[in-house]
Amino acid sequence: MTGFYRHLETSQRHHEWSLIRWIRVMPNLPWASAEDFIEILYESEKVGGLQQPRWQLDNFRMALDECGLQDIGFVGPPFTWYNKRKGTAMIQERLDRCMCSFQWKNMFPEAMISHQEFWKSDHRQILLDTSHIHGSLNLCRRPG
């Protein structure tokens, strides 16, 4: 499981996608990253404000595809961030998510992110739940 801080300037995010590609040099290791990606994957993940440029969506998706990362999904409200404004000035986006490799998803097929409440932040807390799948893990044990 990894996480790192994203650059707020859109023009600098290509450095982060390069870092993600570099981290992913060991293709057979299970890998997951739960964090604020400061990006949306689809136009439907944003309400209000200016529309995200197509190239920005495409660059994010390409970096994730090249690394073999997939969104594990979520339960709860659809947006994880809002700009703390009301009415027509409000912007909401799904910026926080958990991305994982195929190998990680095979180890934890039932894993799910739940979007929690906003608490002293403009971001919802996200909770990665793997508790209900411990019984299905095949841990190596010595024969008894």
C-beta of residue 76 within 8 angstroms of C-beta of residue 92: no
Q: How many CB atoms lie within 10 A of CB 127?
A: 15
Interval 109-142: pLDDT, tens: 999 999 999 989 999 999 999 876 544 444 444 4
Q: Strand, helix or coil at 56?
A: helix
Helix (H/G/I), strand (E/B), else coil: 133: helix
Q: Across the strands, what pairs with 114?
A: 75, 127
Coil, helix or strand at residue 93? strand
31-42 residue pLDDT tens: 888 888 889 999
- What are the tokens at 86? 């009301």
* CATH superfamily of this structure's domain 10-136: Endonuclease/exonuclease/phosphatase (3.60.10.10)
Residue 30 burial (C-beta neighbours within 10 Å; 0-12, 13-18, 19+): middle
- Tell me, what's the pLDDT at 4? 55
Q: How confident is the model at residue 15 (pLDDT cuts 50, 70, 90)?
A: low
pLDDT in tens, 53-107: 999 999 889 888 888 889 999 999 999 999 999 999 999 999 999 999 898 999 9
Burial class of residue 79 (count of CB atoms within 10 Å of its CB; 0-12, 13-18, 19+): buried
Domain boundaries, the chain: 10-136
